[in-house]
Chain A
């Protein structure tokens, strides 16, 4: 079966845009991606649009109303923090299936400030039956790693130091400020061991990609800037022993990673850069092991040794990650793909991972009592 390529991809600089609309933010990214491909909305045969906050609001159709209503099929996608990556994967599948040659995928989110999480209606159990905030849940995932492997508060904090440093090199990042270790560890404690600087930033943002069949890429002569999708895999949470008490993001990630490496015919050692789901500093270390970047129990050593910093063997989150670039839920999955594609094209400027040939993106989301959605993409310079 022939491959699918990304021929246009871009994102807006993440930030806070309370005066904009969700379709308006989506439209901006869509036009950027179309321009990057040198194509028009008239060339698109279908649209997959990811958004969580207005999941019942026909965001895709409203976006087309701003950039051109050609009557193409629109699928609006919602899948927790994997929303954007799911839209991308649906676009990929529609081309794989032979339905279309050229498809647009968009991810967009407009977020308020403050803590994410919570339960449904009724009296709130928050504080009386533990905490339903996302920081508390990811704090416990860190503590679980600490009890198994002795991982320290300082090692978790180093993730934030690294990703904030990376973001100073990325003009599309929400924050671009160095945060030394003392500052990260001394910041307001949210839920031990995650301080405020170890929690991802709620921002508004959008990202979009134009995907194309191999035959069409060749016909249109777009191969020199094309990025090949070597694997696109998804999973949900397989049964986990403690799932009634703490959400599990590791089982799904390990499952999708195994499938992605098999599909791409590579191993973790072949990956030159990774954009993974650092919604909290604790999460990044756990995912080093889930993605096979190191053996179980070695994540602390990896961050200590600088293996995952820019210049290291496998740089992780050189964009600044969710921790500093920001985490507009529905846009994050495509923004990660944008980052990796930019390095594979060799156009990442000051943060360029030299000689990058293969990159991996990972998003995983969910919540208390809801389950997990994970998406992993392996990309390669065409």
Chain B
């Protein structure tokens, strides 16, 4: 398996997940590891979690112009994960016109070559929750 595109992506011996942390004081779930809760300011209250792989689209946009070398169009989604975390991602295997508020989506892990890179990396993507193959 290729190396992760972002440090929050954990290869985990072929069963990848996105690392998060949950505040045991206020319950907020963050993307990635952290020490102090930005919401309630609690210290030493964070527990590491594997982020949920299902959620709903909160906001989205269809990106037609991006940085040089990046293939467009693509769908940029803000997803409310079912565990309460909020994460940005790219929604694939979908007609951009069909994206709507609260559309159920699922996280999948795939290898992809980033713009400007010469080798693939492990990344997470979102696909519509129904009928998607990982």
Query: Which A residues lie at the B interface, using CB under 8 A?
Result: 115, 118, 123-131, 133, 135-136, 139-141, 143-144, 147, 188-193, 239, 241-246
Q: In whole angstroms, what is the CA distance A176 to B81 when docked?
A: 45
For residue B42, give the distance in angstroms from its CB to the closest CB of chain A.
Answer: 12
A239, A243, A244, most chain B CB atoms within 10 A: A244
From A135, A144, A189, contact of B58 by CB (8 A): A144
B6, B66, B125, most chain A CB atoms within 10 A: B66
Query: Which B residues lie at the A interface, using CB under 8 A?
Result: 5-6, 30-32, 38-39, 58-67, 70-72, 74, 76-80, 85-90, 101, 112, 114-117, 121, 123-125
With A129-B90, A242-B78, A244-B31 given, is the CB distance from A190 to B38 under 8 Å? no
With A140-B78, A244-B30 given, is the CB distance from A118 to B67 under 8 Å? yes
For residue A130, give the distance in angstroms from its CB to the closest CB of chain B.
Answer: 4
Task: Output the nearest chain B residue to A138 by Cβ-Cβ distance.
Answer: B61
Q: In whole angstroms, what is the CA distance A45 to B24 when docked?
A: 52
Q: At the interface, is chain A mostly helix, strand, loop or mixed?
A: loop
Q: Are A128 and B63 in contact (CB under 8 A)?
A: no
For residue B96, give the distance in angstroms from its CB to the closest CB of chain A.
Answer: 8
For residue B105, give the distance in angstroms from its CB to the closest CB of chain A.
Answer: 13
Q: In whole angstroms, what is the CA distance A127 to B75 when docked?
A: 8
8 contacts between A and B (CB under 8 A): A123-B116, A125-B114, A129-B90, A130-B88, A140-B76, A140-B78, A143-B61, A189-B65
Q: In whole angstroms, what is the CA distance A135 to B61 when docked?
A: 10
Q: Are B64 and A188 in contact (CB under 8 A)?
A: yes
Q: Are B59 and A147 in contact (CB under 8 A)?
A: yes
Q: Are A125 and B63 in contact (CB under 8 A)?
A: no
Q: Are A124 and B86 in contact (CB under 8 A)?
A: no
Q: In whole angstroms, what is the CA distance A118 to B115 when docked?
A: 12
